[in-house]
Structure 1
Amino acid sequence: MNSYPDIRPAAGGRRPRRTARTLTAVAAAVAVAAGGAYAAGLPPFDGAGGPDPQAAAAARAFLADWSAGRLPDAAARTTRPDRAEQVLSSFTTGLDIEKPQLTAEEPRETGDGAVTVPFTARMPVTGLGTWTYTSQLPLREQADGAWKVDWRLSLVHPRLSDTEKFRLEREKDKPVEALDRDGDTLSGATHPSLGPVLARLAGGADGAGPRGAVHLVDRATGKVRRTEASFGRKPATKGDDGPVRTTLDADWQAAAERALAEADGRNAALVALRIDDGEILAVANAPAGGFNRAVSGTYAPGSTWKIVTTSALLLKGAVAPDDVVDCPKYLTVGKRFQNVESSEHPGATFRKDFTESCNTAFIGLRGKLGDGELGEVAKKYFGVGQTWHVGVPSYDGSVPVPRDATEKAASMIGQGRVQANPLIMASVTATAVSGTFHQPSLVAGTTDTTATTPLPPRVVTQLRALMRATVTEGTARVLSDLPGDIGAKTGTAEVSDEQENNGWMVAHRGGVAVACVVEEGVTGGGSAGPVLHSLLSAVPES
């Protein structure tokens, strides 16, 4: 049973028991993202024909293990475990790949009893960017009836072979000198998690960043056969132009890095930005020196996405805060969705559904929106999915049109194929409470090619009231003791059957919007909540 709960921390800080989940027989695709994924199904209304679902399940499990770094487990799902573990390890380690993001597509039969599962690989190369390509997994049924990945080098990458391999080459740049918005010096030494961020500012506002490439080379001679991926570009200007002036605030940045200590050693990321102009005050990552997940990560945003869903419903008058929208324990749309601990709120108002983050209530309103409407609202009003020019490479979000009814239900609560990161969700929060999208920026002079429409004032007023109520009486009560008119939304995003949920929280106070994700944090209130509480406790109201 897959569910997408948005739950508060258990009393006394007790870690909630992990919910057992089983996949339906027709669920046959999975997206495994960097610290965020969605165990979803292929169209849940397929007929009895087609590939054996157990083959697709085996492919899903292999990709999940590979993505999470469980290489012995991934290798054990192949026909050549020893060789598979060796190759997967040398591939990801040798190319400085942080956490593969692997998205499986629909399986197909090959006609000889085998099944092939195509997949897209997004490989974050540390400090450079993401290398994206497609490949496919061949699977065969074994004598004992189990399906295994039929091991071959080409499944890792179509051009990997006995005669050719890949090599990563980096171009070295001099250390970046950067200043915060007040002229104070910033560096990776004083603010450790800025190391990979500042490296991306090597070219100034154009975000040229560090440069490098993944080459396909001859195993015997080392000769480069072709370049598979290039990262960075030469700066638009040459010579020493002096330190890069950023929008960052040294005090906010220091507070953000200290706050991530509340993540208890888990991978986490945080962004704070100004609501009135989108200027980024802080961007922090844990671990500090690795992948810039705050800006380039791809995560299911979970129930924080209900801000966008609520906006879409309010825009067309499909619901009002005082309308009764029942919150049952379960709701089946191709698969069974549920609330935390099977909670229910009979006769609840939509306001109650929002503040308690009732999944079934939101899914029950899916018929009020067209199939592509959620993505259209996200793009038109919030800029999500448009191209952002932040000053460093960024992932700008994706809200695909759902492929089936189950995926549409999941997208209503920030699952399915909806993808975001803390930068996007901080911006979503800023837009929701101001009504106007401002492209986030790290440096002055960035190009802005976005085109958005302001939210109507009535929608903004309702969103602000709902987010405030979530702090005073809902799932974000962890922030209720802080000064200021704080509004917030928690989120818990399902990752995979093998991983704990990611914890999310977004909030706004004064002129600043913040967003935090904690990988495998279990709950938003219990993991991201303390991080934002620490941050907002350390900085003045603004």
Structure 2
Amino acid sequence: MTDTEHVTGRGRRPARKARATAAVGLAVALVVGAGYAAELGPFDPGPRKPDPEATARAHAFLADWAAGRMSRAAALTSSPEQAERVLRSFTSGLDISKPSLTPGAATIGEEGTVTVAFTARMPVTGLGTWTYASALPLREQDDGGWKVDWALSLVHPKLSGSEKFRLEREDTAGPEVTDRDGERLSGDTYPSLGPVLPQIAGAAGSGPRGAVHRVDRATGEVKGTEATFGEKSEGPADGPVATTIDATWQSAAEKALASGADGKDAALVALRIDNGEILAVANSPSSGFNRAVSGTYAPGSTWKIVTSGALLVKDAVAPGDIVDCPRFLTVGKRFQNVETSEHRGATFLKDFTESCNTAFISLRGKLDDRELGDVARTYFGVGQEWRVGIPSYDGSVPVPRDETEKAASMIGQGRVQANPLIMASVTATAVSGTFHQPTITGGTKDTTATTPLPRKVVTRLGEMMRATVTDGTASVLADLPGDVGAKTGTAEVADDVPNNGWMVAHRGNVAVACVVEKGVTGGASAGPVVRDLLAAVPAAPS
């Protein structure tokens, strides 16, 4: 054997070893690849999540459509000219005053498309609200951005190239509607009641009636009926329809909104604490959508009444407990307090009176994921079906999808939805301990089932709301006579839209709630409205 052969022979063993190692490496790589392909074991990347930019584009489209910014909404679609034409004709042709469009879950399709579900509540002027579900398809563009993939069916699932919708009204002479003292109510005297009175008469079976029909575009033949409004009475009305409205409170509420809302969209409800009877319902502007009763808003920090109730019911915290209030708290995203305030070493009572977001969010572990919604429903009636006497939205507290959404729910954000009627009722329940279904007409059937709050919880909530007036963010009410209790709220809407301002309050036998859209803060926007109302009506109704 030569030296060359010897050297070559010695080199073969490492070569075979190297090939074996490479083969093993290849096998491992194939296993890893198979693991990724099959989404198995430790290599499972988990379910694909929709691109946040797609979801944001869908939310922006719905917000613009709801606000009547049809050109802006259409510009977010793949067919702007057709989209703007259809959106305008749909709302104007069906006499829809102001849509309420609530986004739902987003899902991702096989080709990477994203679909965002939404609930549409379409107030048909003078008749009622048409509610249905639809969805927005979105497709990624060549430049990496997202657009709503325009189709007629996204406006309504049954809108198509062959069928459209037609509104038909029945002319009926409605009965007279009176206040709680038997005096006639009219939209001329009380502008906010203009859209409400026909609804009251309709609920009594004698008011305006109508329907939204689906018709053939070519022949006009009716193919189906999507919504009906009003009920046919068996005979002529027996007399005036009596309501729970108090003319003094209604007048004061309208004046308070007119002077204090500074031209912004706003709404207010006042009701009796002992039985839920609605004393006043006012909107600015007064015509069109009844946002006070049918609106869908994030209630912001006024919701901390419910959150506090949930925490107090299970003795998870006491007013004197130290619950630190830092400037920021990150739970998936950064949360902060209004004007980035902080109160180090604060008690829970102080957190409530100063409306500290970060303190409340830090207590989220004290409640399980369903507990806030369960308390809202069980004790406060929120989310149950209310029979108010007119169309209403009765609130929603969905189970949070993640820790970030749970954090937001603690402070009345995320997917928590309410309106002034709901928050006035929440306030009444908090200080009395018992939920009473709100009503605007007598004899309304109550199908709700609730449990009274423990007396200790009621006492503490009352003390906390009183302290918010004497030593907290509701000090705008401090000079009013009587033991006024209140809670302010600031609710985020979108990154480029000013916050909504909220205030709820109670005095005597009356609870009040007010929201001012784009009011920035509750104390500065809704606060003066509530103050003007309570100052004008010093005596509680009997």
Global fold match (TM > 0.5): yes
CA deviation profile, 1:142-177 (whole Å, cap 9, x unmatched):
232222222222222222222221111122221441
CA deviation profile, 1:157-215 (whole Å, cap 9, x unmatched):
222222221111122221441221222221112111111211112156x5775322111
What is aligned with 2:482? 484
What is aligned with 2:122? 123
CA deviation profile, 1:438-465 (whole Å, cap 9, x unmatched):
1212122111122222212211111111
CA deviation profile, 1:32-78 (whole Å, cap 9, x unmatched):
xxxxxxxxxxxxxx968444333333222222222222211111112
**CA RMSD for the aligned pairs?**
1.8
Residues 498/283 of structure 1: CA separation in 2 closer, same or farther (3 Å cut) = same
**Larger fraction in helix:** 2
Alignment of 1:14-33 (within 5 A): none
1:238 to 218, 235, 242: 235
Q: How far apart, in 2, do the equivalents of 1:61 and 1:303 lie?
A: 24
Q: How far apart, in 2, do the equivalents of 1:287 and 1:207 lie?
A: 27
State the secondary structure of the residue aligned to 2:201.
coil
What is aligned with 1:308? 306
- AA matched with 1:420: A
What is aligned with 2:257? 260
Q: How far apart, in 1, do the equivalents of 2:389 and 2:114 lie?
A: 44
- AA matched with 1:404: D
Whether the aligned pair in 2 keeps the contact of 1:105 and 1:117 (CA below 8 Å) is: yes
Q: How far apart, in 2, do the equivalents of 1:176 and 1:501 lie?
A: 41
Whether the aligned pair in 2 keeps the contact of 1:67 and 1:99 (CA below 8 Å) is: yes
> Is 1:162 the equivalent of 2:166?
no
Whether the aligned pair in 1 keeps the contact of 2:489 and 2:502 (CA below 8 Å) is: yes
Whether the aligned pair in 2 keeps the contact of 1:127 and 1:291 (CA below 8 Å) is: no
- AA matched with 1:255: A
Q: How far apart, in 2, do the equivalents of 1:73 and 1:540 lie?
A: 46
Cα deviation for residue 537 of structure 1 reads 0.9
Residues 53/540 of structure 1: CA separation in 2 closer, same or farther (3 Å cut) = closer
Q: How far apart, in 1, do the equivalents of 2:239 and 2:77 lie?
A: 53
What is aligned with 1:508? 506
Q: How far apart, in 1, do the equivalents of 2:303 and 2:520 lie?
A: 17
Number of equivalences? 495
Unaligned stretches of 5+ in structure 2?
1-44
Residues 186/105 of structure 1: CA separation in 2 closer, same or farther (3 Å cut) = closer
Alignment of 1:40-439 (within 5 A): 49-203=48-202, 206=204, 209-235=207-233, 237-261=234-258, 262-439=260-437
Q: How far apart, in 1, do the equivalents of 2:321 and 2:282 lie?
A: 40
Whether the aligned pair in 2 keeps the contact of 1:468 and 1:488 (CA below 8 Å) is: yes
Q: How far apart, in 2, do the equivalents of 1:483 and 1:331 lie?
A: 38
- AA matched with 2:130: W
Cα deviation for residue 317 of structure 1 reads 0.7
Identity %: 74
TM-score by length of 2: 0.88
Cα deviation for residue 138 of structure 1 reads 2.6
Moved more, 478-487 or 90-99: 90-99
Q: How far apart, in 1, do the equivalents of 2:138 and 2:418 lie?
A: 32
Q: How far apart, in 1, do the equivalents of 2:506 and 2:130 lie?
A: 34
Q: How far apart, in 2, do the equivalents of 1:495 and 1:332 lie?
A: 19
Q: Which has the larger radius of gyration?
A: 2
Cα deviation for residue 99 of structure 1 reads 2.7
What is aligned with 1:448? 446
Q: How far apart, in 2, do the equivalents of 1:239 and 1:489 lie?
A: 46
What is aligned with 2:471? 473
Cα deviation for residue 428 of structure 1 reads 0.9
TM-score by length of 1: 0.88
CA deviation profile, 1:290-338 (whole Å, cap 9, x unmatched):
1111111111111111111111111111111110000011111111111
Residues 52/282 of structure 1: CA separation in 2 closer, same or farther (3 Å cut) = closer
Cα deviation for residue 123 of structure 1 reads 2.1
Residues 132/392 of structure 1: CA separation in 2 closer, same or farther (3 Å cut) = closer
Q: How far apart, in 2, do the equivalents of 1:247 and 1:257 lie?
A: 16
Cα deviation for residue 113 of structure 1 reads 4.8
Q: How far apart, in 2, do the equivalents of 1:78 and 1:246 lie?
A: 46
Q: How far apart, in 2, do the equivalents of 1:169 and 1:344 lie?
A: 56
Q: How far apart, in 2, do the equivalents of 1:115 and 1:256 lie?
A: 44
Residues 165/359 of structure 1: CA separation in 2 closer, same or farther (3 Å cut) = same
Q: How far apart, in 2, do the equivalents of 1:109 and 1:315 lie?
A: 40
Q: How far apart, in 2, do the equivalents of 1:76 and 1:537 lie?
A: 47
CA deviation profile, 1:358-383 (whole Å, cap 9, x unmatched):
00100111111111111111111111
State the secondary structure of the residue aligned to 1:122.
strand
Q: How far apart, in 1, do the equivalents of 2:429 and 2:184 lie?
A: 30
Unaligned stretches of 5+ in structure 1?
1-45
